[in-house]
């Protein structure tokens, strides 16, 4: 995995709409991350992230993600996926 940016809070507006892959991690208790469509007008789905855990989320061009205040993401280049 190659890091392409800084950790960014996922609360508030949709983030990472230009990223192909994002390392998402949770600094609090278990929660969900919401994947948003290209126009940011609807949810595509949700992903459960355990407390203190992290996952790689691959996005289609233009999609983005949102999450609770304990959720953060870092733009990455994901090798081997």
Domain locations in the chain?
Answer: 2-77
Q: Where are the alpha helices (DSSP H) in the chain?
A: none
Per-residue pLDDT at 1: 79
The first and second tokens of residue 12, run together, are 């508030």
**pLDDT truncated to tens, each residue of the chain (81 aa)?**
788 989 999 998 999 999 999 999 999 999 999 999 999 999 999 999 999 999 999 999 999 999 999 999 999 986 655
The first and second tokens of residue 65, run together, are 């993600």
pTM of the entire predicted model: 0.89
Per-residue pLDDT at 15: 96
Pairing label, strands 31-36, 2-3 = unpaired
């Amino acid at each position: 995995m190659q890091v392409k940016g800084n950790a960014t809070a996922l609360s508030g507006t949709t983030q990472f709409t230009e990223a192909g892959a994002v390392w998402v991690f949770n600094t609090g208790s278990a929660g969900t991350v919401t994947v948003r469509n290209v126009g940011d007008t609807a949810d595509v789905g949700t992903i459960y992230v355990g407390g203190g855990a992290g996952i790689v989320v691959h996005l289609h061009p233009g999609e983005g993600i949102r999450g609770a205040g304990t959720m953060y993401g870092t733009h990455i280049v994901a090798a081997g996926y």
